Amino acid sequence: MLRSFCLFLLVLLLNSTFLNASNYKWDGDKDTAATMLAISGISQLIFMQYGEQEEINLDELDYDLNHIDITAIDNWSPTASLISDALLITELAMPLVLVSEKSLENRKTYSLLYLQSFAVTNFVSSLTKSITKRKRPYVYNTNLSDEQRTNREATNSFVSGHAANAFMASAFMMKIMYDDKVYRNYQLVIFPVFALGAGATSMLRYSAGKHFPSDIIAGAIVGAACGYIIPELHKKKQADSDYRQIISVNWKF
């Protein structure tokens, strides 16, 4: 549901027009191919994760967890899980802030870069889940029924996809807004809100019993790295950016 929502959002963004110069560019066929490959990989990995349910023997669980992660095994809150879903959808919609600024030149490029960041983040997190098959904290929670402890998502703990996506969206927005000076007078207020939103989503996943602290930390690192590095790789050379800015100014006059 979250992936479908984000892709729908990006389709809307692609319909926008643009005016002034930006510091970023989309490398045509190469970037499109890389993004489509990542999306294809995500689809295959999701099928692998949910196609066959991993068998869990509750009588043979190893409770020898580190002293930080073991604090999560008694957590269980469906309400916290639902709130984390709602927060994540809100965070994934944050690029709407970009299309609301009429002076931005390349809304289409921002949309495509966001799609690529999203695709790479989810490819990495899905691949890691498929390889590690780590059990979620609630698997160890003896207060729950066996059916709850062994559901289809029980071995998708590492890394936290919610944390990865929340921190990707936050890092992406902060990177774009800082480099292109979007709402620069309000960044001291906006940026902490982005970071706190990602942190709150992650903490709710812990409270819900969905993830260990190490899952969340790793997810946050993956997401923040993708949200920062992918836009950075698409920055224009300074000379090219200055030239486009001069053309833009002359066109206005």
Using one digit for the tens of pLDDT, what is the confidence trace for 167-216? Answer: 999 999 999 999 988 888 999 999 999 999 999 999 999 999 999 999 99
pLDDT of 241 strictly over 90: no
pLDDT of 221 strictly over 80: yes
Mean pLDDT of 1-28: 56
pLDDT reported for residue 78: 97
pLDDT reported for residue 19: 39
70-252: CATH topology: Vanadium-containing Chloroperoxidase; domain 1 (1.20.144)
Task: Label residue 253 by pLDDT band (50, 70, 90).
Answer: very low
Percent with pLDDT over 70 in the chain = 78
- Could you read off the pLDDT of 16-45 as tens digits, one per residue? 433 356 788 887 777 888 788 888 877 766
Cβ atoms of 149 and 134 within 8 Å: the answer is no
Q: Exposed, middle or buried, 232 (CB in 10 Å: 0-12/13-18/19+)?
A: exposed
Q: Which of 96, 71, 244 is nearest to 176 (CA)?
A: 96
Cβ atoms of 158 and 134 within 8 Å: the answer is yes
pLDDT of 76 strictly over 90: yes
Mean pLDDT of 136-142: 97
pLDDT reported for residue 55: 85
Higher pLDDT pick, 204 / 238: 204
3 state DSSP class of 235: strand
First to last CA, the chain: 47
What does the domain layout of the chain look like in residue ranges?
A: 70-252
User: Which contiguous run of DSSP H or E holds residue 216?
Assistant: helix 213-233
Least confident of 17-21, 218-222, 232-236: 17-21
pLDDT of 103 strictly over 80: no
* CA-CA-CA-CA torsion sign (18, 20, 23, 28): positive
The model's pTM: 0.84
Query: For residue 168, what are its two tokens?
Result: 């990707």
Cβ atoms of 170 and 198 within 8 Å: the answer is yes
pLDDT reported for residue 240: 52
* CA-CA-CA-CA torsion sign (179, 183, 188, 192): negative
Query: For residue 55, what are its two tokens?
Result: 């068998």
3 state DSSP class of 24: strand
Higher pLDDT pick, 32 / 225: 225
Instruction: Give the type of residue at 79.
Output: T
Q: Compute the distance between CA of residue 52 and CA of residue 61 in angstroms, rounded to an integer.
A: 20
